Structure 1
């Protein structure tokens, strides 16, 4: 006895956004890295390295986004929806590696910072502000409900701010000749990346481990199901993310003296979708816990 609900709202196709964002950023990475190497600016090379990691991140997010659209098969009954979770997790780990590289190089240059041509740094960094902002805007709509797209958006939005920081560092060098600002700016960039990435890594790891999504309060779901007409107990309640946009729920409801109720099941499906953003729902109705012989159920647990 079950009710499977699949609510899929019409969504914008982000395929072209990924293609445009990747192309734009690859061109910029090549230009910024070349100028950074020529001018011996660690801040520029650090920003180029971070932008390269974002290109790889965009490619991973794009792959996850595309794979999630593939239909289910006999072997993969949920399709490839979980690939978006893996893409978000990979992106966070990739950024953490980039942070380590930037910090290592910056610390080595603190004692003997090289001369950096301020005007070049300012111009290149401001170009980065424009490109990163334009790319971030491509994903701002999807970032509201998709952790995978949110990762792409946060990366590019952070890059826009970081490129602005590099430009400010170039201006300080130009006006004061304080060369140590270059590695100091690199350390500041690394700190911003780390804190912006930490939440993404934590959330994507939790989803990969099939934890309850952060925006869902399982106690509220438990309370709602337990207060339904005729329900005396709720057990074997499980909520997990199938992808970065779709959540699933299974639960056993004990209703003594009641049989399967399609009206009730439809009501549960609608409420769980509207209140908790849970789309794939399976409900089993039982007359008693003992009769169901559910091995996972224990007294006092969900």
Structure 2
């Protein structure tokens, strides 16, 4: 940064960071965790875990890869939902001197791990399906059909439970993606059972298992991408610092320049932003600071903002390169 800029910092009579703390930082950095999310995830985990045992038994008795694949997916679902429940529980802990933003980011880490487990599950299903295609085995269509129908009912119930939770939460989205994979697995198992019952053509079982695995892979990619985006401190999708600069300069006449904008998210529901704004030597600082905070909240839906407003010394040239960095 230039010496002029350092001089500006030194000679600034006031900046809005302190006043901003009075307005925004008096709240706890630990988010208010929705009890509905946690309770719904807990119920979904219990139902998934119990039926997973039924599906393992049904797949073993019937010899169906589709059922065993779905049971394996349900095992990861049970673990994923359990970790999601634990993440919601942990997120209730208040912020402390070491974890100043609280523990809500833990839920993003869990979502990332859940996405990686989906990749592993899909790979195992494809591997087993290839082996089954080379060495077909007997499949009992009757038991397979009954268990698959029961699985479809359970998965629909779990899906309905999770749909009532917060759809913006990555942990909830991850849990729903897992359950959707289970739903498709149950549908595939039902179709395979009907085909085998009617025609005796057993390769349909591993073929539909691969179809389910491909859908699981797509879900895994979406979940890993979204959670990694947050873990890497990328700017939220709806925040473009170039648009923020243009908007603030257009709507707050006292601002001469906006520089050093940094935006990131603790979770999708908690975007954060810091910036520096420069005003004329005789401009009151506090009204400009408040106007910036209000505009960012109304236009860009960012409530947690740290702003430093400084006066330009007379004769100091503006640096448009700093204020308009793409």
Match of 2:105 in 1: 82
Q: Flag as ranges the 4+ runs of structure 1 deviating above 6 A.
A: 6-10
**2:262 is the alignment partner of 1:249:** no
**2:221 is the alignment partner of 1:198:** yes
Contact 1:259 1:285 in 2 (8 A): no
| Residue 139 (structure 1) aligned to one of 143, 146, 162 | 162
Structure 1 residues 267 and 221: CA distance shift in structure 2, 3 A: same
Match of 2:307 in 1: 283
Match of 2:254 in 1: 230
CA deviation after TM superposition for structure 1 residue 61, in Å: 1.5
Alignment deviations for residues 17-50 of structure 1 (CA, whole Å, 9 cap, x no partner): 1221111111100110111112221110000000
Structure 1 vs Structure 2 CA RMSD: 2.5
SS of 2:274's partner is strand
CA deviation after TM superposition for structure 1 residue 221, in Å: 2.6
CA deviation after TM superposition for structure 1 residue 278, in Å: 2.0
CA deviation after TM superposition for structure 1 residue 181, in Å: 0.6
Contact 2:111 2:224 in 1 (8 A): yes
**2:289 is the alignment partner of 1:260:** no
| Residue 112 (structure 1) aligned to one of 112, 132, 135 | 135
Moved more, 65-74 or 214-223: 214-223
Rg larger for? 2
Give the TM-score taking structure 2 as reference length: 0.83
Moved more, 10-19 or 126-135: 10-19
Match of 1:34 in 2: 57
Give the TM-score taking structure 1 as reference length: 0.89
Cα distance in 2 for partners of 1:273, 1:165 equals 46
Alignment deviations for residues 213-258 of structure 1 (CA, whole Å, 9 cap, x no partner): 2343443333223322211211111111112421111111111232
Match of 1:294 in 2: none
Match of 2:4 in 1: none
Alignment deviations for residues 104-159 of structure 1 (CA, whole Å, 9 cap, x no partner): 11111112221211122222112111211211222224343212211112221332
Cα distance in 2 for partners of 1:224, 1:9 equals 31
Structure 1 residues 271 and 160: CA distance shift in structure 2, 3 A: farther
Contact 1:96 1:194 in 2 (8 A): yes
Q: What are the within-5 Å matches in structure 2 for residues 42-191 of structure 1?
A: 42-191=65-214
Q: How many residues end up aligned between the 2 structures?
A: 297
